[in-house]
Amino acid sequence: MDSKWKADLKLFIIFRVDLILGQHLSQLWFAMMRDCSTVTVCDSFLAPANTVGIIGGMSAGSSLKFLKKLVTWCSSTSGDGEGGAVPFVLCSDPTLHREMSAHEKNIVPCNFETERRDRTYIVNNLLQKRTFLEKAGVGCIVMPCHISHLWYDEVSRGCSIPFFHVGECVAKEIKEAKLKPAEAGSPLRIGVLGTSATLSDRIYQEKLQKQGFEVVIPDEATMEQTVNPAIQALHREDIEGAKTLGMILCLRSA
């Protein structure tokens, strides 16, 4: 492992982004509930004013996992069981799976025209989902999918309601946690784990740096030997295997 990676990483935080995003949304939802003296219904769709709009990820399964965390968190913090669950509208359309999977796996299209066509198709598809959710009367929109955030700027531009960026939510939650650096006077160092595509597109790095954090990411060898296998274990739902690899990573970076 690169010596700088070992020396600089005094504090390493492994976060599950879908859980943090769910917690962030639940807090927003309760604030929206306080602001709404009565539940209003829009003309175009039966959606309360505090409804969360969700643009699904590359698969229906990943969207359902996020929803489970969101509903569970809201229900537990409301004190009203499932009766306190956040209302939501999910727009799940996995037809983009092929195009988005290519980006996740860093597969470069054979020519510029193909890349441009795929990008236009993805952006238009996501824009249609955003428009649908706006017309449905939701109070905010989220995309619990890392790869979708490659096109966040284009899709969120001109949106009439809050459209949350997952990286900004993570940075805000860490900022509000008021963590202390290992050495007084030094910047707080945050370690970020993710797929190669997520890290190369800097979905989290730039948002964390704007909050004043120093960001550290694994080197190529660590990605191949530890991080990627851990992510693959998570996809297989081998939680214990992923935890073991995570512990190895923390020990190597100590």
pLDDT (0 to 100) of residue 19:
47
Q: What does pLDDT average to over the chain?
A: 76
Range of the domain at 152: 17-165
Task: Kindly report, residue by residue over 207-216, the tens digit of the pLDDT.
Answer: 999 999 999 9
Last residue of a domain, one of 113, 141, 165: 165
Task: Kindly report, residue by residue over 44-69, the tens digit of the pLDDT.
Answer: 455 566 789 999 877 788 888 888 88
Last residue of a domain, one of 144, 165, 186: 165
Cβ burial, residue 17 (10 Å; 0-12/13-18/19+): buried
Phi, psi of 54 (to 5 degrees): -125, 125
pLDDT (0 to 100) of residue 162:
95
Task: Kindly report, residue by residue over 128-139, the tens digit of the pLDDT.
Answer: 999 999 998 899
pLDDT (0 to 100) of residue 36:
41
Nearest to 52, CA basis, from 70, 78, 75, 36: 70
pLDDT (0 to 100) of residue 4:
43
What's the predicted TM-score (pTM) here? 0.73
Judge contact between 47 and 138, C-beta under 8 A. Answer: yes
Number of domains in the chain: 2
pLDDT (0 to 100) of residue 50:
79
Last residue of a domain, one of 165, 187, 211: 165
Q: Are both 145 and 185 inside the same structural domain?
A: no
